[in-house]
Amino acid sequence: MSRYLILFFICLLVLSRAPLLNAQDGPPAPTLTVPTLVPMLETAAPVEVLFAVSAVADIIASGLFRVGVLYNDPPYSELTLRGELSGFDADLLRKIATVWDSEIEFVQVTRLNALDKLNSGEVHAVASAFVRYRDLDALVDFSQTYLRGKQALMVTANSPYTIPAELSDQSIGYVLGTRTEKALDIWRDRLGRELNLRSFLTLDRAVAALTRADIAGIVAEEQALLRVSADAADSVKMLEEPVVSESHAFAVRRQDAPMRHLLNRTLQFLSREGDLDVLFREYFPGATYNGDVLTLWTGIGDGVAPDEFAREIPYPSSPALPRIRSAGVLRVGGLIDAALATTAGQARLADLNRALITEIAARWDLSLELIPSNPDSAAELVNSGAVDLVLGVKPDWSEVTALDFSAPYLLHGDRLMVRTNSGIAGFNNLRGRFVGILIGDATARERAEAWADSINTTVRFIRTTESGAALTLLDHNNANAIYADSLALLAHLEANPNALRLTDRWYSRSFYTFALPYNDPDFRLLLDYTLQELIVDGTLYRLTAPLIVSDELPAFDIIPGASQFASIELSSDSTDAAP
C-alpha cells in the first residue's frame, strides 16, 4: 500500500471522529465558519501587563463596540443558517451598543483564544466564551452578573433523588473537557468527600448511559442538558437545586475599570428599564428572570454614553492587600457607635457593621483598628490613606472615579406596613385613604406619591415619628398604612408580630456595601469572596437576621471556586446555616 493511500485513510479516520469532539456541549452551529473549540479548563497565568488606555477610548474614537463571542453556544450566542448571530448575549450586546449610540461588531472567538484577543485589543469585551469562576478573576475583570445559570443534575423521571447531595455516592456522568469538571471539583470540596464519577466524550453518550441505568445522573450546563434531552423530556427530569450556580458576566481586560464601569452602568440601566426581563422571557420561555442578581446603584441616570467614562486607566499607588498583610492591621472607617444612633434601625445597622467587620478581620487573621468617621466621607477617608475600607456605604455612580464598591451585604428599602387583618396588598387598596410617612424622611411623601400616581390612585398623608408608627396604625387609627424604609419598621413588626405585617412588594431596593480603593482588584476580590463565604456558611444570615424582613437572604451573587484567596482561608467551620 502506498504512503499516499495510508495518509488518505488517516484523514478519513480523523474526519470521522471530528463530530464527537465538536459535540461536547451540544451540536456544532450549522455554519461554514470554523466552529468554536470545545471548552477547556483555563490554565493561563495571571496577566502582568498594565494597560495605560482603556478600551473606552477606542470605542469613543471609532464609534464601534467590538465583542468576542462564541458562535455555537445556544441560547446565548449562535450563528444561524442565515448567517446571523442570535441568542440572549448577542441581543443584549446589541441593546448595549444602541444605548451608547455605537455600532457593534461581533468577533468570533474560541475559549482558547478569547483572552489573547481581549488583551491584544482586537475586542473590547468578551461575552459567552467566559462564564465567571474565581480562577478566571486572575486573568480578567468581570462586569456585574446579568444572568444566572447553573451546572445542573439530570436524573431519570422515576428517580427517587430530589437534591444533588443525595447522589453524592452514586455514579454520576459528565463530559470530558467542559467546565463541568470545575463544577464537580467545587462540589466535591464543598461536600468534603470523593465522588463516583464517570466521564463521557459527548453528552449524547452520557444521556444514553442514563437511560440504560448505567449511571444515576448527569451533571452538565443546564441549557445543554435541556437541548440534548428535548426528544426524551418525559423520561428525564432536572433537579431544581444546582450543583453549582454560574454567573454570566462580560469580561474586560484586567484593571480596565472605566470599561467595567461603562458596562455595569449600562446593564443597570437596561435592568431598570425592564429590557433584561423582556429579553430573558424571549430566550428562556416559562422561566422567571431573577432581576435581584444585578444590584442597582444610585445615580444610574436617563442614559449611558462612553464619553462619560475615563479614557485612561488609573492604578493605585499602593495596593491594599500587601500593605495590610505587612502591617497585620485592617483600618476601618464608617462605623458609628450604636449608642449614638438616632433611630432603632440605625442602631441595629451599627451593631451589624461592627459584628461583620470583626468576623472579616478574624478570617483574614488581622487586628482591627476602627477609625471614628462617617460613611458619607468614604472617598476622602480611602483616598487620603486614613483607612483601608469604609463600612455602610451605598454604591453611587457619582463616586466611581474615586472609589470601588464591594458586593452588597444588606438589602433594605421602602415597604408598606399595614394591620394584619386589613386586607391591604398595596397602593391599589389605598385610594383616598391615609398613608403615614416618617418625620425626618424628607422625600418619603414624594416617593409614595410616585407609586400612587403610577396606578392613578390618590392617597392622603399623615406624618408620624418612627417610634410612634405602630401606635399610629393600631391605637390611634390615624393611618391605613405606613410607608417607610424597612429598617425603620423592623422594631414595630417584632413588637407586634400578630397585629402588623408588611405587604409583599419592595417599592425600592437599596444596598449597603464597603467602599474600597479605586481599581485595586485583588483587595476587592478578597472582600467579595469573603462575603460570599459568609453567605455559604450561614454567618451573614445569622448576623443580618435582626435587619432583614424575610427568612432568607437576597439573591446575592456567589462566584464558584476555591475558598482560599491570596493564601487566606476564607471559609469557616461554623455550624450556623441559613434555612
Q: pLDDT tens, 360-394?
A: 999 999 999 999 999 999 999 999 999 999 999 99
pLDDT for 31: 38
Averaged over 336-349, what is the pLDDT? 82
Choose the most confident range, by mean pLDDT, from 10-24, 280-294, 319-333, 343-357: 319-333
Residue 30 clears pLDDT 80, i.e. is over it: no
Residue 555: its pLDDT value, please? 77
Query: Phi first, then psi: what are they for 208, rounded to 5°?
Result: -60, -40
> What proportion of the chain, given as a percentage, has pLDDT over 90?
79
Of 144, 92, 101, 145, the C-alpha closest to 278 is: 92
Q: Are 32 and 71 in contact (CB under 8 A)?
A: no
Q: Which stretches does DSSP call E strand in 389-542?
A: 389-393, 403-405, 410-412, 414-419, 434-438, 460-464, 481-485, 500-502, 510-517
Q: Which of 194, 178, 306, 319 is nearest to 246 (CA)?
A: 178
pLDDT score for 47: 53
pLDDT for res 212? 94
Q: Is pLDDT above 60 for 95? A: yes
Q: pLDDT per residue over 234-258, tens digit each?
A: 899 999 999 999 999 999 999 999 9
- For the stretch 196-207, pLDDT in tens is 999 999 999 999
pLDDT the model gives residue 19: 37
- Tens of pLDDT along 150-203? 999 999 999 999 999 999 999 999 999 999 999 999 999 989 899 999 999 999
More confident residue, 194 or 4: 194
* CATH topology match: 55-146+249-308 vs 320-411+510-568: yes
Mean pLDDT of the chain: 89
Comparison of pLDDT for 229 and 531, the residue scoring more? 531
What's the pLDDT tens digit per position in 472-520? 999 888 999 999 999 999 999 999 999 999 999 999 999 999 999 999 9
* Angstrom distance (rounded) from CA 229 to CA 205: 11
**Residue 142: its H or E element:** strand 140-142
Q: What mean pLDDT comes out for the span 447-468? A: 95
The whole-number average pLDDT for the span 26-47 is 42
Segment 255-273, tens digit of pLDDT: 999 999 999 999 999 999 9
55-146+249-308: CATH number: 3.40.190.10
Share of the chain above pLDDT 70, in %: 90
pLDDT at 248: 95
- Give the model's confidence band at 573: pLDDT under 50 very low, under 70 low, under 90 confident, else very high: low
Over 90: is that where the pLDDT of 413 sits? yes
DSSP classification of residue 49 = -
Superfamily of domain 148-245, CATH level 4: Periplasmic binding protein-like II (3.40.190.10)
Specify the higher pLDDT residue, 281 or 30.
Answer: 281
- pLDDT for the residue 548: 84
Architecture label for domain 414-502? 3-Layer(aba) Sandwich (3.40)
Q: Are 97 and 104 in contact (CB under 8 A)?
A: yes
Q: What per-residue confidence (pLDDT) applies to 116?
A: 96
| Residue 115 · residue 140 · CB < 8 Å | yes
- pLDDT on residue 402: 93
Identity of the amino acid at 58: D
CB 118 within 8 A of CB 125: yes
User: What number does CATH give the domain 320-411+510-568?
Assistant: 3.40.190.10
Residue 552 — very low, low, confident or very high, per pLDDT cuts 50/70/90? low
d(CA 522, CA 266): 24
Taking alpha carbons only, the member of 154, 150, 205, 196 closest to residue 175 is 205
pLDDT confidence of residue 553: 73
If we measure between CA atoms, which residue out of 282, 263, 293 comes closest to residue 146? Answer: 293
What pLDDT does 204 receive?
94
Q: Taking each helix axis as running N to C, give the angle between helix 275-283 and helix 88-100, from 0 to 180 degrees, rounded to the nearest 10.
A: 160
| Domains of the chain by residue range | 55-146+249-308, 148-245, 320-411+510-568, 414-502
Residue 48 pLDDT: 61
Hey, what's the cell of 338? Answer: 450604636
Q: Give the gyration radius of the chain's Cα atoms.
A: 26
DSSP for 336-390, please give it: --GGG-SSHHHHHHHHHHHHHHHHHHHHTT-EEEEE---GGGHHHHHHTTS-SEE
